[in-house]
Each structure stands twice: as structure tokens, then as C-alpha cells.
Amino acid sequence: MTEKTPPTDGNTGGDALKVTLLGTGIPNAQINAFGTSTLIEAGDEKLLIDCGRGTAIRLSQLGLGVGHVDHILLSHYHSDHYAGLFDVVMTGSIPQKFGGRMGPLHVYGPPGIDRIAEGAWIATGPDRDIRVADNEIDPEHMRIIPHEYEEGVVYDRGGLVVRAIKVDHGDFIDIAYGFRVEYGGRVFVHSHDTRYNENLIAQAQGADVFVHEVAAARPEIQAANPAVGLVMAHHASPAEVGRVFAQTRPKLALLTHMVLLKPDPVSVEEVMAEVAT
């Protein structure tokens, strides 16, 4: 996104902060937008934020081994944000070009991350047993090391600083975070899943790139169907996202995680027009 120097041989080079949106989808399985995942590359650092469905495929499309990213931050625990984690932890442990992890996988999340690490170790056991018996892998390369975080700095290595921003993903979801990523004077902000949120607005100031989620439903559909209203109560409407961008004024504003509710879904063009008003 905000490269100051052109990449060479896959390196971001110099003080560039390179951000690749690997997945911009929602829980529905769809081929044109996999689950949420963002690759951050800065100097020698490589980091994934969220690990939704298809993350391993998108990494391989970039020519990266699935095991070449050792640190993953999770925003919250809806399936579309970490359903791809088991693929990454298992496939990444295979010592070939398409895998290649040489140590454990560090995964950072809100409270609950211990359960994911313990569960993954159990669920991946049968595959690990076969490969260890075959002298194929080091079993520790299939281990998730959990790191529980709260609001504030989650990751600070090699000049790359990532801050978790508490957001508001609905009345009964107490733990959901967006992220502010800084490196070499560049700032990238991703809302992840949230309603209109003042804390996010306060911490998203000065962004070069700000990616925000959005959900839309026609008023008559929302009025007639309580389930549609329930979904909308977890997300930001196009008009609300427009207010967020107006109050933060990023150099580049992008929409992601577009929940366009049926029947008669609002078009992307209609969403864009409403965000802009």
C-alpha cells in the first residue's frame, strides 16, 4: 500500500510498510472473498492479522510458504476471522517450500486464546503423530504459543508496532479489536468487526490507509425481518462508515467485510454512494 521504495525479491525494502488484504469476506463461503486476513510486511517482520478461510491459499498465491509467517494476531473469535488457522498451523509445519515453519506459531488474541491453542494441539494430534512417526516434521513446529492481549501495544519488534483498539461488535460481544499498525512513519488502521465506535475514531487519526467494515440492508427489509436487524446491530452502516471517515480523514479509505443482506441486497455502488454522502 504505502511503499516508499519498490520491492525487490519479495522484500519490502527500506522503511516501507507493505499491507496485503488476503481476505475481505464474511462467514458465507464464497470464492471471490475469503475470510478476513491481512498480511503485514515491514523490514524483516512478517505478521498476519486474522486468519480466516483461505489464508493458506492466498499466502501461496503470493509465493510465500504457509509457514513463513510466525506471528498471527486475532481480532475476535467469529469463525470468519480464524477458520483458516488450523490449515496454517498444520500445513506450515511441513518442512517443504510450501510450508517451512522452523519453530512454533505465535498467536495473539483476547481472552480465549489459551483454549484455541490447547484445542489445536489436540485436534492436530493425529496428523502430527503420522508425520513424526515418518520422521517428517518436528512436532513443536505444529504448536501454537498463545499470547493473550488487552487494548494497547500487542506487537513491537523491529520497528513494527501494532496497537489493539477496543471496538464495539454488539451488545453481547465484549471482546473485539481493531488494529493500528505503524512502521517507518506510515500508519495503517483496520477496524475489523465493529459498529460505529468513538474509540476507533480517536485512535485512527493520521492514518495513511484506513480499512473499515460495513453492513447494509434496505430499510423495509430490516423492518420486516428481525434477523436482518440483529446482523445490522453488530456492524456499521454505510452512513456511519461515512461519518467515521469524515472524522478521521485517512489518505486512503477502503471498505471490507461487506455484509449486504438479502433479499434484494444493496449494491456495492449504492454502499459507496451512501458512504460518500
Binding site for Zn ion (CB under 5 A): 78, 80, 193
Query: Any residues with CB less than 8 A from the CB of 89 and at least 6 apart, and which?
Result: 105, 120, 124, 142, 144
Q: Which is nearer to Zn ion, 145 or 260 (CB)?
A: 260
∠ CA 53-235-37 to the nearest 5 degrees?
25
CB 193 within 8 A of CB 167: yes
Q: Which is nearer to Zn ion, 117 or 236 (CB)?
A: 236
271: exposed, middle or buried (Cβ count in 10 Å: 0-12, 13-18, 19+): buried
Minimum Å distance from CB 132 to Zn ion? Answer: 35
Minimum Å distance from CB 6 to Zn ion? Answer: 33
Q: Which is nearer to Zn ion, 36 or 248 (CB)?
A: 36
Minimum Å distance from CB 83 to Zn ion? Answer: 10
Minimum Å distance from CB 258 to Zn ion? Answer: 11
Buried b (16+ CB within 10 A) or exposed e, 7-17: eeeeebbeebb
Q: Which is nearer to Zn ion, 142 or 236 (CB)?
A: 236
